[in-house]
Structure 1
Amino acid sequence: MYKVLIADDHAIVRSGLSFLINQQPNFEVVAQAANGNEAYFEVERAAADLIVLDLNMPPGESGLMTTKRIHDRFPKVGIVILSMHEEQDYIDKAMQNGADSYVLKSSSDTELLNALKAVANHQTYVDQNIILTKNDVAEINSKDNDVNVKIKGYADLSNREREVLPLIALGYSNKEIAKKLFISIKTVEAHKASINRKLGFKNRVDLVHYALHNGLIDF
């Protein structure tokens, strides 16, 4: 039985997907998440084998960043992107950041089920309504366009600092961040100081500009 995590900011979508997936043999929805940080934590807590992940879950971390963080930390977890974004740039970046499949929300249920079955068998799957050109494949396989290379200083941040950064940018207080990440307020303060030092920020305005400019958060 494959354990599935559903991450989408709309409760009704999570409910519908859970109903659909739980009807399939060998698949069981074991957890849900409403944003990127929740998804990251639930993957480990629920021991998920597969995650169905939306790319746009505002306000919060960009789904592209969540995809990469989950892939880097849990490389054996299959990632199925289910998104409204049909732009080729989103598709290329998602696959490049570690997604195993990309399915459009405008497609039929069959596409998602085909994706789940393929990823469960350690295969990649791209929605049949998406046409990948040779250039797209080259873009996906290119290491020069890795998100950590593009974003100056981001690669120097620890995994925890990458979790803290979008929450700071979204205006959460130290106490709220500590509660969300299950860490102490002093630890949050230490991470904020380290982020500012590594990235050369003087204030939160600099951090917000950085996060928005580099697509780290969604509003």
Structure 2
Amino acid sequence: MVPKQFSISNNPIRVMVVENHQLILWALTKLINEHRPHMEVTAIAGTQTDAIQLIDAAAPDVVLLKYELASMTQQSSLPDVLTRGRRTLLFAEEMETETLAHSLRCGAHGLLSRRSSADEIVKAIGKTHDGELWFGREATGLALSALRGGQPTRAQPSRDNLKLLTPRERRVLQAVIANKVRTNKDLAKHLFISESTLRNHLSSIYQKLGVSNRLDLYVYAQNHLAANTVEMA
């Protein structure tokens, strides 16, 4: 992926997003940019190498870096160029004890997971920018479980939850999956419904499937829906 740079305004928190999954990258970029002027994505990259090449020109305050990209290196710590004068927030696909331990060892300032809500992601960016460390509820639970010598358990959304959706909600979900980069406004037009009706449907879908936001929904679809299709039973 070719790194991209964005213009900034109103002195927001400057964020670089490093993610090699196009859909997740789009969702994170959209989420952060929706919080202007408080924060804004100033650059994106698909690999750690791309990020290093771009970082001086982009001058981010916070680097939101996919954990799996950071851990691909053999280094015990993140490259100095990613942490010098800025904060690094890791974003992991799966939260495990070793994920937390490696994040602490490598010098990251915080750790999120794909199950983190939109509010938590935004809050974590703000807190790490302010100089705090951010290891959310899931990471804290892992740490406490490890200290107690137990094995953490985590409920996973089940594919069977799809049976809870109404036929209309299934059509909405199918449209969301088929039109990944559309805004709610565009999706509502596509479905011939109002934005408020779409939001109501999405809220119900989130609750039934045990997800928190559009990003979680895409991940759920990847894990539970064959070929990104929804059975219309």
TM-score, with normalisation over the residues of structure 2? 0.51
Question: Aligned match of 2:116 in 73, 88, 107?
Answer: 107
Q: 1:10 to 1:97 in 2, by over 3 A?
A: same
Query: Is this contact kept in 1: 2:90–2:108, CA < 8 A?
Result: yes
Is 1:129 equivalent to 2:138 in the alignment?
yes
Q: CA deviation at 1:67?
A: 6.0
Partner in structure 2 of residue 6 of structure 1: 17
Could you report, residue by residue, the CA deviation over 1:169-203 in whole angstroms, capped at 9, with x for unpaired residues? xxxxxxxxxxxxxxxxxxxxxxxxxxxxxxxxxxx
Q: CA deviation at 1:4?
A: 0.5
Q: 1:63 to 1:53 in 2, by over 3 A?
A: farther
- Aligned partners of 1:45 and 1:86: how far apart in 2? 32
Q: 1:103 to 1:63 in 2, by over 3 A?
A: farther
Partner in structure 1 of residue 84 of structure 2: 75
- Aligned partners of 1:33 and 1:2: how far apart in 2? 18
Q: CA deviation at 1:15?
A: 1.1
Q: CA deviation at 1:63?
A: 6.1
- Equivalent position amino acid for 1:79 in 2: T
- Aligned partners of 2:74 and 2:33: how far apart in 1? 26
Q: 1:110 to 1:74 in 2, by over 3 A?
A: same
* Structure 1 SS opposite 2:79: helix
Question: Aligned match of 2:61 in 36, 40, 49?
Answer: 49
- Runs (4 or more) in structure 1 with deviation over 6 Å come to none
Query: Is this contact kept in 2: 1:64–1:97, CA < 8 A?
Result: no
Query: Is this contact kept in 2: 1:82–1:102, CA < 8 A?
Result: yes
Query: Is this contact kept in 2: 1:101–1:126, CA < 8 A?
Result: yes
Partner in structure 2 of residue 62 of structure 1: 72
Could you report, residue by residue, the CA deviation over 1:88-113 in whole angstroms, capped at 9, with x for unpaired residues? 11211112211111001122112211
Query: Is this contact kept in 2: 1:52–1:80, CA < 8 A?
Result: yes
Question: Aligned match of 1:84 in 93, 103, 121?
Answer: 93
Q: Unaligned stretches of 5+ in structure 1?
A: 137-219
- Equivalent position amino acid for 1:20 in 2: L
Q: CA deviation at 1:135?
A: 6.8
Query: Is this contact kept in 2: 1:54–1:63, CA < 8 A?
Result: no
Query: Is this contact kept in 2: 1:36–1:61, CA < 8 A?
Result: no
- Aligned partners of 2:23 and 2:130: how far apart in 1? 28
Could you report, residue by residue, the CA deviation over 1:93-145 in whole angstroms, capped at 9, with x for unpaired residues? 11221111100112211221121011010000112122223977xxxxxxxxx
* Structure 2 SS opposite 1:76: coil
Partner in structure 2 of residue 149 of structure 1: none
- Aligned partners of 2:71 and 2:130: how far apart in 1? 29
Partner in structure 1 of residue 128 of structure 2: 119
Q: Unaligned stretches of 5+ in structure 2?
A: 1-11, 148-233
Query: Is this contact kept in 2: 1:79–1:100, CA < 8 A?
Result: yes
Q: 1:51 to 1:67 in 2, by over 3 A?
A: farther
Partner in structure 2 of residue 186 of structure 1: none
Q: CA deviation at 1:48?
A: 0.9
Query: Is this contact kept in 2: 1:49–1:78, CA < 8 A?
Result: yes
- The 5 Å alignment of 1:66-215 reads 68-70=78-80, 74-130=83-139, 131=141, 132-133=143-144
Q: 1:134 to 1:106 in 2, by over 3 A?
A: closer
